[in-house]
Amino acid sequence: MRTVTLNNGIDMPILGFGVFQIPPEETEQAVTDALAAGYRLLDTAAAYQNEEAVGRAIKSSGVPREELFVTTKLWIQDAPAQGNTERAFETSLNKLGLDYLDLYLMHQPYGDVYGQWRAMQDLYREGRIKAIGVANFYPDRLVDLIVNNDVTPAINQIETHPFFQRTTDQTLMREHGVQIQSWGGFAEGRNNLFTHPVLSVIAEQHGKSVAQVALRWLVQRGVVAIPKSVRTERMAENIDVFDFALTDDQMASITTLDTGGSLFFDHQDPAVVGRLGKRRLDN
């Protein structure tokens, strides 16, 4: 598996397996199948409510811990007042059945962002997390966090797919040493991604699926991707993207698909901020 090197020297697989929207009762089997297919990067979150199932799959897999790269995320309400960030971290770690995390992300750019980040920095310095990062941070919020703290986020996990390509964001992240990671790499099939004529033609030219083209486009840009599937044949297909390369012309064709906006929700929209800020987790 190809890797990227984070700003603290840690290597991270460029392609992994995400469990967003997989029901807890299906997650253990899905992760078991993903590990058997060769995935070693696993991405979950407290908000997904399936960390325990991920942990059970890890424990029963027989895969050595040092071969795995496990990510989970801190939710908004787990602010640092009275040690809430530390308790949220411990809760996630216990649910996963692990002694340490490879990557811990602040899930949303809201709430007491700076207090949470400083608590995460402490956990990182204690060696309980190999790398810390953020998710859904737009450039202004990301730079502000960087210039006001000691540890620069290793990762910014953001919506990235052919219809919202985030190339300007990626350039800024690269300048600050932050690795871009994609969520929603298939745009959840919106805009008819899996049958889109531009992507379909490219897929036919390589004898690959549209999903494989979308993932190859991400990894060829140096974007870490975490596709989700509960079907073993799709898992195998999604990880099989390292035996072909898109040409410059094909990459340019995909560039024309960029709409410049989210297909899901705008993290700078006050209504979105209010809605997410009211969501509570039952830990």
Instruction: Respond yes or no: is residue 48 known to be catalytic.
Output: yes
Three-class SS string for the chain? CCEEECCCCCEEECECEECCCCCHHHHHHHHHHHHHHCCCEEECCHHHCCHHHHHHHHHHHCCCHHHCEEEEEECCCCCCHHHHHHHHHHHHHHHHCCCCECEEEECCCCCCHHHHHHHHHHHHHCCCECCEEEECCCHHHHHHHHHCCCCCCCEEEEECECCECCHHHHHHHHHCCCEEEEECCCHHHHHHHHHCHHHHHHHHHHCCCHHHHHHHHHHHCCCEECCCCCCHHHHHHHHCCCCCCCCHHHHHHHHCCCCCCCCCCCCCCHHHHHHHHCCCCCC
- The residue from 39, 48, 110, 124 that is catalytic is 48
Report the catalytic residues. Answer: 48
